[in-house]
Amino acid sequence: MTDVATTKQEIRSRVAAARSAGRSVGLVPTMGALHVGHRALLDRSVAENGFTVCSVFVNPTQFGPSEDFERYPRQLEQDRLLCEAAGADVVFAPSPQEMYASDHTTWVNEERLTEGMCGARRPGHFRGVTTVCMKLFHVVVPDRAYFGCKDYQQLKVIQRMVRDLDLPLEIVPVETVRDADGLAVSSRNQYLSADDRVASLALRRGLLAGREAVRGGERSARAVAETVRGEIVGQGRLQVDYIEVVDAETLEPSAPLSGRVVVAAAVYCGDTRLIDNIVIDVESKE
Ligand code: AMP
């Protein structure tokens, strides 16, 4: 049975017991409303570690004032069952009060990779993400932590933080899991009506069209972004938040496009914000 720990003290003692039994520790940080995307991270952690912790925490500090913190789906028992089916050992589901002291004033900031993309559109978002991940890493002390490529900028920022601050753990990236129609699975997909869902497929189509343009020889980031935009706005129901075509490691402009680049986009479908990305090896034809 996979149980739920709600305090730092509880999770620390669970992890300590696993460690003294010689088990390595994997952490899968999530905001809950778990789905097959999270499941892929959990499966990987369970395969690679003797003890897997799944944290479920809707982190208030990474939401802007006008974002969906209040309405973000919360379904802890369902999440616990999914963790159990995956073979995870414990769910760590602290309250915001447990996680943050009421007079919390210390933050972790990555200052370069967070400048563009979601960082530019969601002020303070990544400060909340890096701070909560740092706290989770200190509380759980995992050997490995698992992050999805769907949140590409987040993955890169966390990898950078771990490197820059010499944190003794490995960040393991996991490929984006998609529904059969190509839509990246997301907890926020729950907000979409049937019509919204069909419309949302244009995001993925746009990214694929961008990749086709690069394969066809296009080397201008702006031109690739316009191709992506054309596909998305052609749909009619989606609004572009941003489309960026940047170096896949530095997240800075690549002109002309070369090496590995990422095409990343965020769109609104009504009030629902969706993100997706595609990494392209520019010189490869595959
Ligand atoms: P979230 O609960 O949305 O904060 O996501 C928790 C973790 O699961 C993050 O590392 C995400 O990148 C990852 N994740 C979310 N959706 C997917 C997906 N469709 N495929 C792979 N990983 C995902």
Tokens standing for residue 21: 């039994």
Burial 125-150 (b: 16+ CB within 10 A, else e): bbbbbbbbbbbbbebbbbbbbbbbbb
Closest CA relative to residue 72, chosen from 206, 163, 189: 189
Name the active-site residue from 35, 38, 104, 138.
38
Rounded alpha-carbon distances, angstroms, from residue 41 to 55, 172, 190? 12, 9, 20
- In sequence order, the β-bridge partners of residue 134 are none
Q: Is 147 in the pocket of ligand 1 (CB under 6 A)?
A: yes
> Helix, strand or coil for residue 160?
helix
Amino acid at 16: A
- pLDDT of 19 reads 98
Structural domains of the chain, with CATH: 3-174 (3.40.50.620), 187-279 (3.30.1300.10)
Instruction: Name the token pair of 165.
Output: 């601050």
pTM > 0.95? yes
- Write down the pLDDT at residue 285: 73
From the alpha carbon of 38, which atom of ligand 1 is closest? 8
Looking at ligand 1, which atom is closest to the CA of residue 188? 3
List C-alpha distances in Å: 91 to 45, 49, 139, 164: 13, 15, 13, 28
Please name every residue paired with 221 in a beta bridge, in sequence order, or none if there are none: none
pLDDT, one tens digit per residue, over 82-119 is 999 999 999 999 999 999 999 999 999 999 999 999 99
Chain position carrying tokens 């009060």: 97
Nearest to 178 by CA among 81, 16, 40: 40
Question: Tell me: the pLDDT tens digits for 10-53?
Answer: 999 999 999 999 999 999 999 999 999 999 999 999 999 999 99
Is 125 noted as a catalytic residue in this protein? no
Cα angle vertex 97, ends 151, 134, to 5°?
40
* Residue 151 beta carbon below 6 angstroms from any ligand 1 atom: yes
Low-confidence ranges of the chain (pLDDT < 50): none
How many angstroms separate the alpha carbon of residue 150 from the centre of ligand 1? 6
Helix (H, G, I), strand (E, B) or coil at 205: helix
- Distance from C-alpha of 83 to C-alpha of 219, rounded to nearest angstrom: 44
